[in-house]
Structure 1
Amino acid sequence: MALVGKAEVEIDIESSADKFYDIFRSRAHHIPNVCPEKIQGIDVHEGDWETPGSVKQWNYVLDESAESVKETVEAIDEENKTVTFNVLEGDITKHYKSFKSILQVSAKGNGGLVKWTVEYEKLKEDVPAPDKYLDFAVTVSKDIDAHLLKA
């Protein structure tokens, strides 16, 4: 069994691809207001809300447990509406040596397509694939989509 892996999930959204991308690109501080039962808070530790290299700490609830993660915005690709996040520390690092998530948003009809990709390296072979994190990304993405449709 491989320790290094990659997993992906795609979600159709009804809201504007540009608006959805902008939330993760430069307005992540709004996410706790959109889905407070999942995301309790996001704080900037270094940099700002929209510059590569900035460091943010996310406090969230996963499987009814409070968790946190400190991540850096590794890269932003405006043309392809892609943001790459790299985990520095937190609960995820108890099971994964490295954990990178990539968000890509593209226009599709009147809405869009959200693609989450996770590249990871497990600390041990018996660590499960990060499916619960992808499922979490899907539910948060759906909450954001619903919020944007109301706005």
Structure 2
Amino acid sequence: MSSSSLVGKLEASAEIEASAEAFHHMLLHKPHHVSNASPNHVRACDLHHSDWGKEGSIICWTYFLKGQPKTAKEVVESVDPKNNSVTLRVVEGDILEEFKSVVIKCKATPSAKGSGCVVQWVLEYEKLKEDVAHPETTLEMLIEVCKDMGAHLTKP
């Protein structure tokens, strides 16, 4: 079995009404508010180390995937406020029962239409075994959460 068949990358994007800056700010500096925006997907987000939005900080998500409660502890690996992007590495949690590593990259780019933004998610991962499914349901959940965040951020 070659290790290259265990390594994968999934990408998806969604257009939302909120600005790239507002989306990025909420995801990075106020992720504990995401549960208010997307209660069907996110139950809580807690800070375990350092400060919200800082490289090296550790956050722990409690979320629902296909109706099942899950947790993920992530390290903020890099932050690029100029490009509204962040890279998170999962260091603990349910997803690591099937994956050796999971890195989540998120970038919000202002929409060409003049308002709103396009949020791009990239999941880079290495499966523990060949028969593990690609994390498409995780990516779909991230897209749903970002749409919920966009609606929440543009509510009057």
Shorter-chain TM-score: which interval?
over 0.9
2:130 to 118, 122, 125: 125
Offset of residue 64 of structure 1: 1.0
User: How many residues are paired up?
Assistant: 151
Q: 2:48 aligns with which of 45, 48, 51?
A: 45
2:16 corresponds to? 13
Amino acid in structure 2 at the alignment position of 1:143 = D
Matched, 1:95 2:95: no
Please state whether the residue corresponding to 1:128 is helix, strand or coil: coil
2:155 alignment counterpart: 150
Stretches of structure 1 that go unaligned for 5 or more consecutive residues are: none
**Aligned pair partner of 1:3 in 2, 6, 14:** 6
Taking the aligned partners of 1:72 and 1:38, their CA distance within structure 2 comes to 20
Partner of 1:140: 145
**What is the aligned-residue RMSD (CA, Å)?**
1.0
Give the TM-score normalised by structure 1.
0.96
| Mapped partners of 1:8, 1:98: distance in 2 | 16
Among the aligned pairs, what percent are the same residue? 40
Which residue of the other structure, out of 59, 69, 72, is the alignment partner of 2:72?
69
Q: Quote how far apart the aligned CAs of 1:37 are.
A: 2.3
- Secondary structure at 1:134 match in 2: helix
One-letter amino acid matched to 2:130: E
Structure 1: which 4+ aligned runs deviate by more than 6 Å?
Answer: none
Match of residue 112, structure 1, among 117, 134, 139? 117
Distance in 2 between residues matched to 1:31 and 1:54, nearest whole Å: 17
Instruction: Tell me whether 1:86 sits opposite 2:89 in the alignment.
Output: yes
Q: Hey, what's the Cα distance between the residues in 1 that align with 2:22 and 2:81?
A: 13
Partner of 1:58: 61
